[in-house]
Amino acid sequence: MRRDIFQAIADPTRRAIITLIALQAMTPNAIAENFHSTRQSVSKHLRILTECELVKQEQRGREIYYSLEIEKMKEIDKWLNQFRKIWETRFNQLDHVLSAMKKQKR
């Protein structure tokens, strides 16, 4: 079953896991050490992130390492970018209004 990436990142634990593995691949045990939950719970979050293709698994010897799938993160950034442009436009408009108000006070 393929899950929606936005549903996956809606969970704060999964966002924290993404942050943890953004710089280096980690084993499930190493990831679980950073949370006040069971290893089983962290594994469930990893499974969801893997199903969404936000993280990838790599077998190294007897260990499985999880790392961030950068290309999938770019999909999120692309979607957010449309809103970023709207926010920037509105902030620029607010800057103009505040500048005009400041000039009127003088």
Grouped pLDDT means (10 residues each) for the chain, 106 residues: 82 95 94 92 95 94 94 88 88 88 85
Write the CA distances from 45 to 79, 81, 82, 94, 98, integer angstroms: 23, 26, 28, 40, 45
Per-residue pLDDT at 95: 87
According to the model, what pLDDT value does residue 2 have?
A: 64
Name the CATH code of domain 1-68 (choices 3.90.550.10, 3.90.1170.50, 1.10.10.10, 3.20.20.60).
1.10.10.10
Q: What string of DSSP letters covers 64-88?
A: EEEEE-HHHHHHHHHHHHHHHHHHH
* The pLDDT of residue 1: 55
Sequence ranges of the domains in the chain: 1-68, 70-106
What does the pLDDT read at residue 3? 75
pTM above 0.85, yes or no: no
